[in-house]
Amino acid sequence: MGNLLRDRRTVAEWASGGQVIVIAEKISSFERLAGIVEADLAVLNPDKLPGAWRDGLISGMLRFDFTDGKARVPIVTGHATAAVHAVCQRCLEPFRLTLSIAPQLLLPGEQETADEFEDFEVWELAEETLRPQDIIEELLIMALPFSATHDNMANCKAFSTAEESAGKTVKPFAALRLQMQHNEMDSDE
């Protein structure tokens, strides 16, 4: 038996069996996600690159089923987490970013309507078959922030540098202000 994440079947086949898939894969198995992380890390100096970032684990579970007992509209529910490396856009240092997803997807066919299922996100499929890995990968990519930053400001070097230099405040217009005050005093005389 192969890896169910990579198997390609119709949505009805996945749902009719009530298929449950446990996810425990390395980031390197998700090529598009790994490519995005690699492109982000490419801005770092080689000595700052996190070691073995491709070996980070993506874990979770997917469950395929139908919305009702009539096997009408297929759904996918579950959860997954991944700790990927990213570059903080404030301090430009690498850090671990935790991504967490909890899909509740409705996968209607051409004849089904999704109007009555408000709790689900509707996904229209371009192909008749799908791979569960593609669902997880797409959702993790969508969970990536536009601008990654440390969750805790105390861990961000941009804020620690700002605090250190707070006592050394430079006032570039101080001389201009003094000159303006001096000119005002001259004009008052």
Tens-digit pLDDT profile for residues 10-26: 988 999 888 999 999 99
Domain range list for the chain: 4-153
Residue 150 burial class via C-beta count within 10 angstroms: exposed 0-12, middle 13-18, buried 19 and up: buried
- Least Cα distance to 120 among 59, 45, 68, 52 occurs for 68
Question: How far does CA 36 lie from the centroid of its chain?
Answer: 10
Tens-digit pLDDT profile for residues 62-72: 999 998 766 67
In sequence order, the β-bridge partners of residue 55 are none
